[in-house]
Amino acid sequence: MKKDSLKDFISLERVLDRVVRFSTHTRIRDQSISEHSYHVALYAMLLADLEETFGNKVDKTKLLKTALLHDLEESMTGDIIYSFKHGDERLLREIRRLSSDFFKDLINKLPPEIAEEYFELWKSSKDMKTIEGRIIEAADKLEGLMYSMEEFSLGNKRFEIIIERYVEEIKKIDLKSVKFFLEQII
């Protein structure tokens, strides 16, 4: 590891404080990727704790590390608009490949054993075959929903359709904690 590599990593990750989500939408209050990632981690922890009350085992260390890393590459790519990213399957695959390259470039500033672990966590961040992946997916969407509901409550009626889309997507995630969360907030 080069002398200034950790400093470079920290400088790059702090860019997330200035990357705005929903950048093509009219917003009343901006939200940075850093804010989003904090809320995703908090919701993931809450969902994991709820899942454990329902009798499921969750690797919370893996889960929380993954939640914190799940959008780290956006310090270099920015927040890519959902409808653009998901509008074409080939484009989505290419964006995922490029995001992986950017993520690797970023974490390669860290010691190799840490970089390797972080890459594996990032790759598995939305693996719907694992409970941790489903929780991260749910927490990510729940956070988007909560931000959208906040925008709507502030008078931004343009977020109504975004709220509807999030609710429909969240309902597809088969976790008792997610159903419980939705019942409490909707």
Given a cut of 80, whether residue 1 has pLDDT beyond it is no
**5-185: CATH architecture:** Orthogonal Bundle (1.10)
Domain spans of the chain?
5-185
Q: pLDDT digit string (tens) for 14-29?
A: 999 999 999 999 999 9
> Is the pLDDT reported for residue 85 higher than 90?
no
Residue 36's contacts (CB-CB under 8 Å, 6 or more residues apart) are: 21, 71, 143, 144, 147
Quick one: pLDDT at residue 51?
Answer: 98
- 103-113 pLDDT, tens per residue? 999 999 999 99
Say what the pTM is: 0.94
Kindly give the residue spans of alpha helices, DSSP state H, lying in the chain: 5-13, 33-53, 60-69, 74-77, 82-85, 89-107, 112-123, 131-153, 160-171, 176-185
* Of 37, 52, 44, 102, residue with least CA distance to 73: 102
What are the tokens at 107? 């974490």
Token pair 């904690």: residue: 177
Q: What does the alpha-carbon distance between residue 162 and residue 151 come to, in Å, rounded to a whole number?
A: 10
State yes or no: pLDDT of 154 exceeds 90: yes
Q: How would residue 120 be classed by pLDDT, with cut points 50, 70 and 90?
A: very high
